[in-house]
Amino acid sequence: MMGPGIAATLALGGVQAAILSRTAESGEKGLADAVSLIDLLERNELASRSKAALARGNLSASSRFAESISGVDLVIESAPENLSFKQDLFEKMDALAPPSTVLTSNTSGLSITAIAERCVHPERVVTTHFWNPPHLMPLVEIVRGKKTEDDVVTSLRELLTACGKVPVVVKKDTPGQLGNRLQQALVREAVNIVEQGIADVEDVDLAAKAGFGLRLPVYGIFEHQDAVGLDMCLSVVDYVSQDLYNEPRAPEYMRNLVRDGHLGAKTGKGFYDWSKKDINAVKALRDQFILDFLRAQNRQ
């Protein structure tokens, strides 16, 4: 899903986007998926009829690796999260692509500095982490490697903004980048709350959905702190921090679930019993909410 979603985003931004796959069959499937995502955005008034038509014309598919890499200005890799595989891939792309070609990875956690380790031109290698689903989620994290040039970051930020995304620059190549560091802090405390018997799984999720999560799209973390007053916030942080989960590892409650084979929706049970909930319905509700929110934003 990531590749077609990224390709659809670029195509809607007026970019000629080729989906490069290992086989012609997988490439054609990726192309069809990208077209279907553009159709979805058009149906939901997030792309005009003319813009969607142009975007479909901007899309193509290929399985010719060397030919495709040597003739483009930008490559966005969305291969499996395997460092060795990505290092091999970027070494090959670095050798084939002109020095002016920007090479990016959609990795959500691997070090871009490590990915570029074997490249002759690591200065043009950078992370562009599109959040999932990429055709809907505005956020893209641009993560600098230790040798990434300023011009590369600037040009990517301008391109992604022109494609309707909300790019943020992560200045240090750090585990978890930016969004996932914030998310993991929330995850570990949520698990801790359940483990300590403070609240049940369902109520933790409800507190996030019906509380602070509802205002986050328009009211950020630091905006809230400044609105309340840092003197009060400082005292709250000092007081609450003493009781938060601060161990440098996942809580035992989560570790025990994995040990017992309860891995979530894919095994039928995790934090929730998925014989009583439909994961596809949950994802559909998520996507529809994002579509409705984006549509409302466009009408402002």
Buried b (16+ CB within 10 A) or exposed e, 29-52: ebbebbbebbebbbebebbeeebb
Tokens of 246: 């601060």
Q: What is the pLDDT of residue 63?
A: 92
- Measured over the CA atoms of residue 282, residue 283, residue 286 and residue 289, the dihedral's sign is negative
Using alpha carbons, select from 126, 120, 128, 61 the residue that is nearest to residue 91.
120
Q: What is the pLDDT of residue 1?
A: 72
Distances in Å between the Cα of 33 and the Cα atoms of 4, 5, 39, 59, 234 are 6, 8, 10, 11, 48
Burial class (CB in 10 A: 0-12, 13-18, 19+), 277: exposed
d(CA 260, CA 255): 9
- Measured over the CA atoms of residue 56, residue 40, residue 15 and residue 298, the dihedral's sign is positive
d(CA 199, CA 193): 6
Q: What is the pLDDT of residue 125?
A: 98
What does the angle CA 142 – CA 157 – CA 12 come to, to the nearest 5 degrees?
Answer: 105
High-pLDDT (> 90) share of the chain, %: 96
Domain ranges of the chain: 2-170, 178-250, 261-300
Tokens of 5: 């979603």
For 178-250, which CATH superfamily applies? N-(1-d-carboxylethyl)-l-norvaline Dehydrogenase; domain 2 (1.10.1040.10)
The tens place of each residue's pLDDT in the chain, 300 residues long, gives 799 999 999 999 999 999 999 999 999 999 999 999 999 999 999 999 999 999 999 999 999 999 889 889 999 999 999 999 999 999 999 999 999 999 999 999 899 999 999 999 999 999 999 999 999 999 999 999 999 999 999 999 999 999 999 999 999 999 999 999 999 999 999 999 999 999 999 999 999 999 999 999 999 999 999 999 999 999 999 999 999 999 999 999 999 999 999 999 999 999 999 999 999 999 999 999 999 999 998 887
Verdict on whether the full-model pTM lies above 0.85: yes
CB 97 within 8 A of CB 68: no
Q: What is the pLDDT of residue 71?
A: 85
CATH T-level topology, domain 2-170? Rossmann fold (3.40.50)
d(CA 270, CA 262): 5
